[in-house]
Amino acid sequence: MSNSWSTSNNDVVVGVVGVTGSGKSSFIKRVTQCADILVGEGLESMTQDIAQYKIQHKGVLYTLVDTPGFDDSVREDEDVFHELAEWMEKSYRAGQRLNGLIYLHPIISSRERGSEIRNLRMFKKVCGGNNFSNVILGLTFCDQEERAVIARRQKQLVETPEWWGDMIAKGSRVEHLSLEPDACLELLSRFAPTSTSGAHNQKMTLQIQSEIVEQGVSVDDTEAAQVVVHKHELEAIRERERRELSQLHIDFEARMNAASIKYRQQMEIMMQKQASIRRRQQDFENTLKLQDQLREELERKARLALQEERSKEEAQANEMKQLEELLQKTRIANQQVERRIRTQNEWVSLRPRLVKRWKTFQLEWALLQDWEKLGRYKQNHMTWVKTDGSGADPSSEFMGAFCDGCLKSYRSSEQYHRTFSHAVS
């Protein structure tokens, strides 16, 4: 860190300005990686004096100028302005001229305050319209807001001439400051040499430097001072802000009271609903208990009815079994009777044939006995043949066998044979 104005003409000098809490020291600390830089956490500025920090990047030596912020809670804006104007005068007389300015604006500010507008108006007067092309308008804390909110607020800043509209029209650029050191160095290199011949961005003379050094105007008579030192305007702005804050407080209290009343009403309604729900829940639980009791009674009756039904079914089954056994016995008895009847019928139908066969057998037996007897007789038979002296005549009617028995019937053997054969058949 250095507070002297001894810089080379080849150095790129960049001033970092903005209201208190806009992130000036955080940006310089991120670029230089200097641990000695203090960063404020609230509305109180940690940068009370102007400080310079040198850094070399890609062969280019940069000098960053950290300035105190306006709208500080400790120091008056007049004191900050006089310190800044004194440094600009001395640095210009010492030959140190700026290559550019980075004006930081916190995007998280949801409402643009009147003091911020006044400070921006003072910055425009310090810089001068001819130098707006060397100004980068940086939006900080972009990581803490949604993209849609950032786009809406940026559009409001860019399209409003009282804010950034007139500066952008004359060449100023809007950039979102990143938390990455490389991105911050890339932003810083916008003020670096633009050609390989070593030419630098044009050094600029601020309007307040020209007025004080070249025109001999006192600090309090500069155009920028007219914006800062008009106490009546400042008091009017502050009074308006106090009224706005008071009105905001009143509106807030009214909204809080309305919200409290509405909350109490909603709580009462909710408690009534909860009581109704509890009553319904109790009724529902009672209904469930009655249903359980009714279900148990029905189940008990159903079990008893089922047991009775099973008992009846078992009794019917036993009766059916007894009936089947009786039917089986009756069937067996009927079968026996049928077999007896069938046997008796068969015997009745067979008896005539048996009688006939018996008679036939008796006859045949008698014939067999006769045949046997005839066989025995035949052994003793003598054949008697009547002849007339001419010899035996087989065809004679007197030819035949006779015996003692045959002599009685005088039948020829052929006749007897026929009779026997007929009897046998």
pLDDT at 418 > cutoff 70? no
Please give the Cα distance from 75 to 278 (Å, whole number): 62
pTM of the model: 0.51
| Structure-block tokens of residue 296 | 């148990």
d(CA 19, CA 73): 11
Give the per-residue pLDDT at 357.
Answer: 81
Over residues 59-84, the mean pLDDT reads: 79
Q: What are the sequence ranges of the domains in the chain?
A: 12-228, 380-425
Least Cα distance to 51 among 61, 72, 36, 30 occurs for: 36
Residue type, 406: C
Task: Give the model confidence (pLDDT) of 135-169 as tens digits.
Answer: 999 888 888 878 888 888 888 888 888 888 888 98
Euclidean distance between CA atoms 394 and 374, whole angstroms: 22
Alpha helical stretches, state H, 33-136: 77-93, 114-127
- CB 83, CB 187: distance < 8 Å: no
Sorting pLDDT into bands at 50, 70 and 90, what band is 82? confident
Antiparallel, parallel or unpaired: β 400-402 and 12-18: unpaired
**Bigger pLDDT: 416 vs 327:** 327
Band of residue 3 on the pLDDT scale cut at 50, 70, 90: low
Q: Specify the amino acid at residue 21.
A: G
pLDDT on residue 214: 87
Of 5-9, 90-94, 303-307, the range with the highest mean pLDDT is: 303-307
Q: Which helix (H) or strand (E) holds 106?
A: strand 100-106
> Mutual orientation of helices 231-379 and 114-127 as an angle, nearest 10°?
110
Q: Which stretch of 39-43, 69-73, 266-270, 399-403 has the lowest confidence by average pLDDT?
A: 399-403
What contacts 24+ positions apart, CB below 8 Å, involve 377-384? 377/403, 377/405
Q: 350 pLDDT exceeds 50?
A: yes
In this structure, which CATH number among 3.30.70.2190, 3.40.630.30, 3.40.190.10, 3.40.50.300 belongs to the domain 12-228?
3.40.50.300
Q: What is the dihedral of CA 378, 381, 385, 391, to 10 degrees?
A: 90
Give the tens place of pLDDT for each residue, 286-308. 999 999 999 999 999 999 999 99
C-alpha 375 chain-centroid distance: 125
Q: How confident is the model at residue 385 (pLDDT cuts 50, 70, 90)?
A: very low
- Does residue 232 have a pLDDT over 60? no
How does residue 398 score in pLDDT terms, banded at 50, 70 and 90? Answer: very low
Q: Which residue has the higher pLDDT, 369 or 260?
A: 260
* Beta strands 382-384 and 173-176, pairing class: unpaired
Instruction: Please determine, for residue 134, whether its predicted confidence score (pLDDT) is greater than 80.
Output: yes
What's the mean per-residue pLDDT of the chain? 77
| 41-50, 243-252, 278-287: least confidently modelled range | 41-50
Band (pLDDT 50/70/90 cuts) for residue 235 is low
- Judge whether residue 255 has pLDDT over 50: yes
Tokens 């509305």, residue located: 43
The residues, any chain, with a CB within 8 Å of residue 14's CB and separated by 6 or more, are 62, 63, 64, 65, 98, 99, 100, 101, 102, 188, 191
Contacts of 21 (CB under 8 A, 6+ apart): 40, 42, 43, 45, 69, 106
Q: Which of 114-128, 144-158, 401-415 has the lowest mean pLDDT?
A: 401-415
Backbone angles phi and psi of 16, in degrees to 5: -115, 115
Instruction: Please report, for residues 129, 158, 172, the alpha-carbon distance to residue 166 in angstroms, rounded to integers and kept in the order given.
Output: 9, 9, 9
The pLDDT assigned to 251 comes to 86
Encode pLDDT of 358-380 as tens digits: 888 888 788 877 777 766 555 54
